[in-house]
Amino acid sequence: MFISTNNKKIKFSFKDAVTKGMPADNGLFMPEEIKPLGEKFWQQLNQMNFAEIALAIISNLIDDEIPRDELKKIVEETFNFDAPLVELSEDTFVLELFHGPTFAFKDFGARFMASALNYFNETSKKKITVLAATSGDTGSAVAHSFLGSKYVDVVLLYPSGKVSKIQEQQLTTLGQNITALEIEGTFDDCQKLVKTAFVDDELNKTMSLSSANSINIARLIPQSLYYVYAYSKFNRAEIIFSVPSGNLGNLTGGLIAKKLGLPVKIFIAANNRNNVFEQFVNTGEYLPRASIKTISNAMDVGDPSNIKRILHLYESNHQKIKDDICAYSFGDDEILEAIRNVAKSYNYIFDPHTACGFLALQKYLSVNKTANAIKIILSTAHPAKFLDVFDEKLKEKIETPVQLKETLRLEKTSIKMSSDYFDFKNYLLSKKLS
Ligand SMILES: *Cc1c(COP(=O)(O)O)cnc(C)c1O
């Protein structure tokens, strides 16, 4: 069962937690209990593939609420892409999580959330409209996941002129049940439109709205899988993960994996200049603030939602958090320099988010003994998604995947709209009639 981080007494089914998205008390959904995986699981781990690991972990976390044979089908369809470990230097590996359809690690979470919502909707045969405000990566991962779904319409809202060229193409070229609204405003305006729609009684009477935001528990659960999967490739007692962090979903996935029994020596959280979490780890004080724009834009978060889940997992014990997590932060210049240095020394090109994870690992290693540990940097996006930040020399070295190149050739279709709520509402109501 699931509970809210604000109230452990009321229990929710997985279905409730996924379809509601967020509990009414303003907390976040978490599994009521995270039971460690049994001895047998860990013994057999090195013979298991990704889908088998996914099946074991997810059925444990959702108490078999989806029958095993159904869940097996879901995980095989959802995680149908690879997560290769690339060796950078001795005992140091890059876990490439960007081989899904939109070339960022958000595919893991978004695809599973879509599969879970589709599964629960198919039994109720109710048509729902998913609203998603996006600053870039999330929207396309969500849209891709629902593409062609019979019971789901997706309406994406993105700020006109404020996403990268390739991100805009990914948002506006899908067609079918996906509509992209190009809002004349900022990401915050887009988010406000969505939030207003959710509390609009008139609208909610005529259509069934669902949110696909990053706080949905179905987006979080899959983010624990690849930690265990990476570990399965080594026969080693100690492992260190460096995690490029913004809203802290990826890191929270790792902490859940640890609760499941994964022997992690330390998690390293890598922040860019938006370092609210680094400061929290170091001082115990959580002081959210407005985000600032950096070249690792998916980590530009000033008030990370998943801090609530981390506090919940550690019963707000700051010392225990510090025992498990270190945090560091870096500026754009350091990140760019790291990208250039790694390209030169290892002939490997990081995107700006992953480069931040690399720097954090280096910083940790400069002051800690780690003789026997395997070090893994989670790579969160393909560098070709962020071409604008690279100089010409590096750009030439980056091979843009065929699918991304094709996306660039497709014709963009978007509906331009003001950030006025009544325009948005009228659009949704007219869509309902058509
Ligand atoms: C979302 C994102 C992150 C940050 O992950 P969180 O779970 O929000 O901490 C890092 N890198 C990329 C490329 C992302 O899209």
The answer to whether the CB of 137 is under 6 A from ligand 1 is yes
d(CA 226, CA 222): 8
User: Can you give the residue ranges of every domain in the chain?
Assistant: 85-103+220-399
CA 282, 379, 139 angle in degrees (round to 5)?
Answer: 95
Nearest to 139 by CA among 172, 162, 97, 112: 172
Q: For ligand 1, what atom is nearest to the CA of residue 249?
A: 7
Phi, psi (deg, nearest 5) at residue 220: -80, -45
CA 268 to chain centroid: 17
What distance in angstroms lies between residue 68's CA and the mean position of ligand 1's atoms? 30
Residues near 53 by beta carbon (within 8 Å), at least 6 away in sequence: 45, 225, 228, 229, 232
Mutate to test the pocket of ligand 1, among 135, 247, 378, 386 (most ligand atoms within 8 A of CB): 247
- The number of beta carbons lying within 10 Å of the beta carbon of residue 41 is 18
What distance in angstroms lies between residue 245's CA and the mean position of ligand 1's atoms? 6
The answer to whether the CB of 104 is under 6 A from ligand 1 is yes
Instruction: Report the pLDDT value the prediction gives residue 434, as an integer from 0 to 100.
Output: 61
Q: What is the pTM of this model?
A: 0.92
Q: For ligand 1, what atom is nearest to the CA of residue 252?
A: 7
Instruction: Report the pLDDT value the prediction gives residue 231, as an integer from 0 to 100.
Output: 96
383 three-state secondary structure: helix
The answer to whether the CB of 353 is under 6 A from ligand 1 is yes
Nearest residue (CA) to ligand 1, atom 2: 298
The residues that bridge with 86 in the sheet, in sequence order, are 94
What distance in angstroms lies between residue 232's CA and the mean position of ligand 1's atoms? 23
What distance in angstroms lies between residue 297's CA and the mean position of ligand 1's atoms? 9
Nearest to 381 by CA among 141, 114, 168: 141
Beta-strand runs (E) in 323-406: 325-329, 374-379
The answer to whether the CB of 309 is under 6 A from ligand 1 is no
Identify the CATH class of 85-103+220-399: alpha beta
Instruction: Report the pLDDT value the prediction gives residue 433, as an integer from 0 to 100.
Output: 65
Q: In order along the chain (434 residues), what is the average pLDDT of each group of 10 residues?
A: 94 92 88 96 95 98 95 96 95 97 94 91 82 83 89 91 87 94 89 86 88 84 98 88 96 98 97 97 95 88 92 98 98 97 96 98 94 93 91 91 92 96 96 70
